[in-house]
Chain A
């Protein structure tokens, strides 16, 4: 158990819909990350927050948005869902947001778009 908690674990939704994935980082960690794992694109970095502020951005679609709240939990919002958005979405956290800081992953949220 990494200490990173993600909900829901599984989610099935229809195309065009909007979903929110939630993440609680490890106790004491200030930085949160979101990654997407899909069959065709592998593991991709989406976005990083540090203490409520966006720190780095990766291949995150405009239909997707994220935020980190004052209590440090984070949410990833996915809207206008397409079949290709079906993937395992990981949240991860680290103590600081600086390069090389060890990143610990949650168990992921499985999203299926039908």
Chain B
């Protein structure tokens, strides 16, 4: 079974600085999708970024970028110029290439942003 591991239960970053959240996953598949979702205190799940495993280029969305290392099965999220509004729980998720479209989530990392 596919599993997603987020080894950092909690991280802190100073406003305007850069932070990296770690994620590893376990799969025997060669094609799949990876996502980072943000869950602020409102509990809404917000898509931050997605990566297709067949693409070597790392995805970027404004201040958010990923470091996708397929061989190492690693998918970290880098947040640059951190803002107070970035404070949230961040979930890494894996989506296998199979019938259907389910997401397998990690346990999450709480990100605190200090002013």
A and B pair up: yes
CB of B19 within 8 Å of the partner chain: no
Query: Does the CB pair B103–A2 fall under 8 Å?
Result: no
- Stretch touching chain A among B20-28, B45-53, B64-72, B75-83: B45-53
Query: Does the CB pair B101–A108 fall under 8 Å?
Result: no
* Chain B residues touching A, range: 20 to 34
* Chain A residues touching B, range: 20 to 34
* Given A48-B100, A97-B100, CB of A102 within 8 Å of CB of B47: yes
- Which residue of chain B has the shortest Cβ distance to A105 in the bound complex? B45
* Given A33-B102, A58-B102, CB of A99 within 8 Å of CB of B44: no
**Per-position binary interface string of chain A over residues 46-89, scored 1 when its CB falls under 8 Å from any chain B CB and 0 otherwise:** 00100000011010000000000000000000000000000010
Interface-central residue, B98, B100, B103, B106, by most chain A CB under 10 Å: B100
Return B49 CB to nearest CB of chain A, in Å: 11
Query: Does the CB pair B107–A31 fall under 8 Å?
Result: no
Known pairs A105-B46, A107-B42. 4 more at Cβ < 8 A? A33-B101, A100-B97, A102-B50, A103-B103
Which residues of A are at the interface with B, using a C-beta cutoff of 8 A? 2, 31, 33, 35, 42-45, 48, 55-56, 58, 88, 90, 92, 94, 96-105, 107-108
